[in-house]
Amino acid sequence: MAYEEERVSTGSTSATTSLRKKVAEPLVRIGVTPDVLTVAGALFSLAAGFLFGIGEIFWGGIVLWFSGVMDPLDGTVAETRRQGASRSGALFDSTMDRYAEFFVFFGFLVYFRSGWMFYVVMLALMGSLMVSYVKARGESLGQKEVRGLMQRPERLILLMTGTILNTPLNHFLFSDCDNCTVKGTLVILAVLTNLTAVQRLIAGRRELSG
């Protein structure tokens, strides 16, 4: 969220930066801190996970979108407060990000608790956590460049898109397949997150051994 490099961003253009600042300024005036927004984002993820768990895929996607909105805002609030990044903030932010991801995937694990999709969700959760772990461990050992396809912003955007579009696409295109859109989204996540973790591991070993 605020302090982590892999935070969700609405883009780096001056227009989106200006919009975030306009939203952040009144929040700062009423005393909202970056940590409050970080916690709010995690709570939205918890609510989204609950909705996914009871089968409300569309509404879970909408709530997950609010979690994504919180992600760049805490950094903008920190800048507006002239607070800047801090090591304690970075630790708190990264920890809450991992909890937020677990909440979401746990909801899918509950919903798909019977059948092959349970294992797909497990692989997606494992891959998502390993992408972040390999990055954090590599940087702690001195790795300078940590890149990869399926970073946190891409993961969240893919999940939001797949869950929000699940109902309309299933109605118009996949009427014979129950929740085909969200299932396909989770399969893509399971494959690409683990590929990204392996990609980062290979790149990290190459850089650190050179």
Say which of 35, 74, 97, 178 is annotated catalytic: 97
For the chain, strand residue ranges (E) read none
Spatial distance between the Cα atoms of 87 and 117, rounded to a whole number of angstroms = 38
CB 66 within 8 A of CB 88: no
74 tagged catalytic: no
Among residues 92, 105, 97, 89, which one has the least CA distance to residue 68? 97
Continuous H helices in the chain: 14-29, 34-53, 57-80, 87-111, 117-140, 152-164, 166-172, 180-209
Catalytic residues: 97
